[in-house]
Structure 1
Amino acid sequence: MLFSTFFATALLSVSSLISSVAAQTPGACSGDCNVHDPALIRRTSDGKYFRFSTGNKITIATSSALAGPWTNQGSAITGGSSIALTGNDDLWAPDIQKVGDYYYLYYSVSTFGSQASAIGVARSTTMEVGSWTDLGSTGIASSSGSAYNAIDSNLILAGSTYYATFGSFWGDIYQVPMASTPTKTAGTSIQVAYNSSGSHAVEGSFTYYRSPYYYLFFSSGTCCGFDTSRPAQGAEYRINVCRSSSVTGPYVDATGKSCTAGGGTTVLASHDNVYGPGGQGIYPDTTQGGAVLYYHYVNTNIGYGDGQKLFGWNLLSWSTGWPVPT
């Protein structure tokens, strides 16, 4: 009886968590709010927000507040990447991290649907337009027949070691240790998330530590082209998560299902006029009083085009031990 009661309570807790994913209105945004694959950080010297995104050789926008008004400042990698791959002047999926005196900007070089891909990095002490030095490839690369597609990187420090998570479709999400100056790989990659069903539509990983767990966020489903061909209901982009007590895994979802066997608890999905949220990251923002989940989405009252995607954000509650947007 005691075990049955405990098991029922656990199932109820998981059920409540999943159902609480419901309608959470994105935080306010004004100014330049059209964005794809945002990456967010505040500059330590003055508290100014910098937002990086796909397009225009990585677009830089700035604001004095998370809600805006956001102002487009121009391109980060103004001359394109030094990586000798098709797509080196059309850079994707940035990730921004501060390490020591530098801000490191990771970016993807690829073309849509291709496995000929690589992850590059640039750095700056200020993040301003014109201040970035492109350092080229990190050593994370793929070609036809590789286990993964080398795009969508994210850097995390665990103990004294940096790790990059990355990947999109094919073998989904992988992780590799990085050098102490995190511009090059320093070990062998391992798979940390995989969904064998359908087209293996898992990508855009972001690893976030909140004691005692590492949380692996990722986007699952169809990301793009909603204005010409929308997927079956529920197959569009959504934000999922698994967690582990170790940065290298194994990661499991709220039901205990392995993240390498299709696991993933939904954090945010389509609701009301919000459609296809994804391309997410987490930023611990003291001005907002906690961790901020940021992402892109389309507002169905405006339009479904890729160029109409908007910057969204919500605070996260952790009362269940799992992230829930508020």
Structure 2
Amino acid sequence: MFKYFPAFLAFVLVIETFVYSYSDPGLCTGACWAHDPTVIQRASDGKYFKFNTGTGIEFATSNSLAGTWTLQGFVLPNGSSIDNAGSQDPWAPDVHLVGDEYFLYYAVSTFGSQVSAIGLATSSTMAPGTWIDKGGVGIASKKGQAYNAIDPNLVAVGTDYYLNFGSFWGDIYQTKLNSAATKAGGSAAYNIEYDSAGTRPCEGSYVFFYNDYYYLLWSHGICCGYDKTLPAAGAEYRIMMCRSKAATGEFVDKSGMACTSGGGSILLESHGTTYGPGGQGVFTDSSKGLVLYYHYANQTVGLGDGEYLFGWNVLKWTTDGWPEV
């Protein structure tokens, strides 16, 4: 459609920009390809690290969030030790500093499968060649379960650790980890977001804390294959949000609707040349404050999965305490 109706597309894009008034993604130079990125700034020297879904979990570094990003290699160049299909292509990394060590959680699965598991790799510096695969963390799924054990996200609450995960099926779940954040802590997984409508395309959750609230973000919609089949307008990836005073549930959207009952407010969706933003997270930049990061397709570059780009924006806040882009 885009190829044959450029004038119409340009008109639509102008209208979308006017209606939604989102900020464009921040500048990115160098290795800006991204899919389900996770970003962290190393405290010792301020260097930025960006990890992506991709064979062995590709990662790049930069002295600036805008780049130039330089590829450094792979976290797991030999794949994961988890004995699942997809072990050579771990997905959806999520990186955090836990104590004095960097923890990177990842998922092992294949597209559309519920046979999935979550693993962990650790490093004291994040330097190339220093990552150690710890294997599975005791969170897995199989056909017929309520959830799919992919897209991990660590949440720290004081000295307690929780892991969010999930995609389609029963949407987003959470479980408590042990005190070292290395294994599931024995409690049953519980639902923190669910939308019963359609095919339930909710995944990629991320929780962060700001000003007395825990904010739950997730990606809703069709993530991939835009160059082959374009979703109906509004059915592509977008970033949703709810919030709660607790990290473990009772999340509601701007209207007060429960996140487990179809609630969810839009934080960021397609606008201008930015199409299908998702796979998001938030980190605290030493100079910029809270920064939202994600991947997206730039319609002037291409819609293929291999053409997705790294996007970021400094979060702003409404008077009633909701983030906006």
Same fold (TM over 0.5): yes
Which residue is equivalent to 1:38? 37
Question: Does 2:280 match 1:287?
Answer: no
- What is the 5 A alignment of 1:133-212? 133-186=132-185, 187-212=187-212
CA distance in 2, matches of 1:21, 1:182: 39
Residue pair 1:169, 1:201 contacting (<8 A) in 2 also: yes
Specify the SS of the correspondent of 2:230: coil
Residue pair 1:120, 1:137 contacting (<8 A) in 2 also: yes
Q: CA shift at 1:21, angstroms?
A: 5.0
CA distance in 1, matches of 2:188, 2:294: 29
Residue pair 2:107, 2:151 contacting (<8 A) in 1 also: yes
CA distance in 2, matches of 1:204, 1:96: 14
Q: CA shift at 1:78, angstroms?
A: 1.6
Specify the SS of the correspondent of 2:315: strand
CA distance in 2, matches of 1:282, 1:178: 21
CA distance in 1, matches of 2:286, 2:81: 36
Q: CA shift at 1:45, angstroms?
A: 1.4
CA distance in 2, matches of 1:154, 1:20: 32
Q: Unaligned stretches of 5+ in structure 2?
A: 1-17
Q: CA shift at 1:22, angstroms?
A: 3.1
Residue pair 1:21, 1:324 contacting (<8 A) in 2 also: no
Residue pair 1:22, 1:268 contacting (<8 A) in 2 also: no
Which residue is equivalent to 1:311? 310
Q: Residue type of the partner of 1:314?
A: N
Residue pair 1:20, 1:324 contacting (<8 A) in 2 also: no
Q: CA shift at 1:20, angstroms?
A: 8.3
Q: Residue type of the partner of 2:224?
A: C
Residue pair 1:102, 1:123 contacting (<8 A) in 2 also: yes
CA distance in 2, matches of 1:72, 1:276: 24
Residue pair 1:21, 1:268 contacting (<8 A) in 2 also: no
Q: Residue type of the partner of 2:315?
A: L
- What is the 5 A alignment of 1:9-88? 22-88=21-87
Specify the SS of the correspondent of 2:227: coil
Question: Does 2:299 match 1:300?
Answer: yes
Residue pair 2:20, 2:271 contacting (<8 A) in 1 also: no
CA distance in 2, matches of 1:43, 1:250: 33
Deviations 1:102-160 (A, max 9, x none): 10010010000000000000100011121011000011100000110000010011122
Q: CA shift at 1:211, angstroms?
A: 2.2
CA distance in 2, matches of 1:212, 1:101: 26
CA distance in 1, matches of 2:43, 2:22: 33
The change in CA–CA distance for 1:21 and 1:142 in structure 2 (over 3 A counts) is farther
CA root-mean-square deviation: 1.1
CA distance in 2, matches of 1:71, 1:232: 36
Q: TM-score when scaled to structure 2?
A: 0.93
Q: TM-score when scaled to structure 1?
A: 0.92
Residue pair 1:220, 1:238 contacting (<8 A) in 2 also: yes
CA distance in 1, matches of 2:211, 2:129: 38
Q: CA shift at 1:23, angstroms?
A: 2.7
Q: Residue type of the partner of 1:167?
A: G
CA distance in 1, matches of 2:66, 2:255: 34
Which residue is equivalent to 2:14? none
Specify the SS of the correspondent of 1:141: strand
Q: Residue type of the partner of 1:287?
A: S
Q: Which segments of structure 1 move beyond 2 Å, counting only runs of 4 or more?
A: 19-23
Residue pair 2:55, 2:79 contacting (<8 A) in 1 also: no
Deviations 1:239-292 (A, max 9, x none): 00000001111100001111111111100000010000000000111222x210
Q: CA shift at 1:180, angstroms?
A: 1.1
CA distance in 2, matches of 1:184, 1:160: 15
Which residue is equivalent to 1:16? none
Question: Does 2:234 match 1:259?
Answer: no
Specify the SS of the correspondent of 1:222: coil
Residue pair 2:192, 2:248 contacting (<8 A) in 1 also: yes
Deviations 1:36-91 (A, max 9, x none): 01000011211110010100210110000000000111110122111000000001
The change in CA–CA distance for 1:20 and 1:176 in structure 2 (over 3 A counts) is farther
Specify the SS of the correspondent of 1:307: helix
Residue pair 2:295, 2:309 contacting (<8 A) in 1 also: yes
CA distance in 1, matches of 2:171, 2:294: 19
CA distance in 1, matches of 2:199, 2:244: 25
Q: Residue type of the partner of 1:160?
A: T
Q: Unaligned stretches of 5+ in structure 1?
A: 1-18
CA distance in 2, matches of 1:276, 1:58: 22
CA distance in 2, matches of 1:267, 1:21: 11
Q: Residue type of the partner of 1:198?
A: G
Residue pair 1:34, 1:309 contacting (<8 A) in 2 also: yes
